[in-house]
Structure 1
Amino acid sequence: MARETILVVDDEIEIINLLEIYLMNEGYTLLKASDGAEALELLNTHHVDLIILDVMMPNMDGIQACMKIREEKQMPIIMLSAKGQEIDKITGLSIGADDYVTKPFSPLEILARVKSQLRRYKYLNTPLTKDENEMIINDLVINITTHKVSIDQREVKLTPREFAILKVLAKNRGIVLSMEQIYEEVWQEPFFEANNTIMVHIRKIREKIEVDPSNPQIIKTVWGIGYIIE
């Protein structure tokens, strides 16, 4: 179970109570504050691994609090804001927030983002030498040598073909690959236009590694072109 401490800063008690249920159920320790000033006081007296920070609050809002926090601390910050306040997202990310979620949100989405940010932060700040045989994409770890795949520290069983497709996409991270490119790289034979093999395999991979396969966050579809891991 997780043991990290999460600081939730929001003036809406209903949101704090909702997040408390989900975060504590995952084993996280929770600290709560109703505005930015109270959050800064807690940071002076407690170790915090990640902050969930609302934008609109009395006394000191989330933008001001984020700026003050970033003067000294580097833990991940996930900002919350009402839907449609695009300027808050731009401002928050530009002053040091690591992620941004609009209200209303799914608690499971928040939980997934918390895990992703904590994993990335630990990985970037670990003093250990990076394993050259591993590719790490947020919570996804692909070991090229052992052919093992894990998501959020949970091992995932992929078939050899599924692993090969995932490896090709991961090695070309940030590049859109067509079904033809993926097929010919993995199968080493010509691709036929009517062949839906790649679509079937991608669907099966998503079912194993995505939190919500119907709304994939790892392997994304670029309609009319192919697939990408951003």
Structure 2
Amino acid sequence: MDIAVLDDDPMRAMQLERALRRGAHRCMRFRHGTALIDALRHQGFDALLLDCDHADADVRELVRIVRQSFGHGVPLMVLSDTDEEAEVVACLADGADACLRKPVRERELVARLEALARRAAAPFRRAGDTGRLPDDDIPELVYGRYRFDLGDRRVWLRDRSVRLAPKEFALALLLFRNLGALVTRRLMIDQVWQGALAEGARTIDSHLSRVRGKLELWPHNGVDLRTVHGLGSRLDAV
């Protein structure tokens, strides 16, 4: 996993990086909340790890900003100096998925982050995943009324096949893979158009409009596609 870590203490940051690397995860450290927010606009992370003992950031406010701007698709854990019930409840209410008291036990930290990541990925499952070996599985992803056949690059809404152009399919799949999280225009360009568009290109908007209409990405189908002005789009479960 790619994990973003907010911590302004070099010694603590080194300990966290060591623990995460032992778990075979990549770590990107940020000393300031503004730098973390800017990075979230341009790249994706599998989890966020924020230390509340930060001299220059109100971490609880930062959690709220992350959730308001980027949704709940990315697991977020806060490292706290206390396990007082009121503090933990407040942290979770702000949008954190877990609070872990310091000093952390390295193996527990990694295990909890991995558990959060598995839970975040749960809405998508392999169709027919009942204990068969991965190579035996039909390459499909399912969410609610939607089913994606990755091999034939086809999508179904309920039991109805929906015809999507190749880039429409890629864009729809990107949105569903990031359900609940902001998908920036930069990420769309990189993943769907291989970097060959400007961020302000109307092509992106026209493709989003066609994907919304063809797949009926509306609340009565359990999802809602929203535009986050100047940043990108977010597909939310409703």
Q: What TM-score, normalized to structure 2? A: 0.50
Aligned twin of 1:101? 100
| Residue from 11, 20, 34 that aligns with 2:31 | 34
Q: 1 CA distance for matches of 2:82 and 2:89?
A: 13
Provide the rounded CA distance (Å) in 1 between the counterparts of 2:84 and 2:54.
14
Question: What is the CA–CA distance in structure 2 between the aligned matches of 1:53 and 1:76, rounded to whole Å?
Answer: 11
1:89 deviates by 1.4
Secondary structure at the aligned position of 1:32 is classed as strand
Question: Equivalences for 1:13-162 in 2 at 5 Å?
Answer: 13-71=10-68, 72-73=70-71, 74-124=73-123, 126=124, 128-129=126-127, 131=129
SS across alignment from 2:5: strand
Shift of 1:78: 0.7
| C-alpha RMSD of matched pairs (Å) | 2.1
Q: Which has the larger radius of gyration?
A: 1
Q: Distance in 2 between matches of 1:27 and 1:108?
A: 12
Q: How many residues align?
A: 130
Query: Which runs of structure 2 are paired with 1:128-207 in the superposition (5 Å)?
Result: 128-129=126-127, 131=129
**SS at 2:122 equivalent:** helix
Q: Which residue of 1 aligns with 2:3?
A: 6
CA distance in 2, matches of 1:117, 1:108: 14
Aligned AA (2:12): I
What is the DSSP-based 3-state SS (H/G/I as helix, E as strand, rest coil) of the residue aligned with 1:70? helix
Moved over 6 A (4+): none
Structure 1 residue 13, shift from structure 2 partner = 1.7
SS at match of 2:45: coil
Q: Is the 8 A contact 1:5 1:30 kept in 2?
A: yes
TM-score calculated relative to the size of structure 1: 0.51
C-alpha displacement of 1:115: 1.1
Letter in 2 for 1:75: V
Structure 2: tracts of 5 or more residues without a match: 133-238
Return the letter of the residue paired with 1:115: E
SS of the residue corresponding to residue 6 of structure 1 reads strand
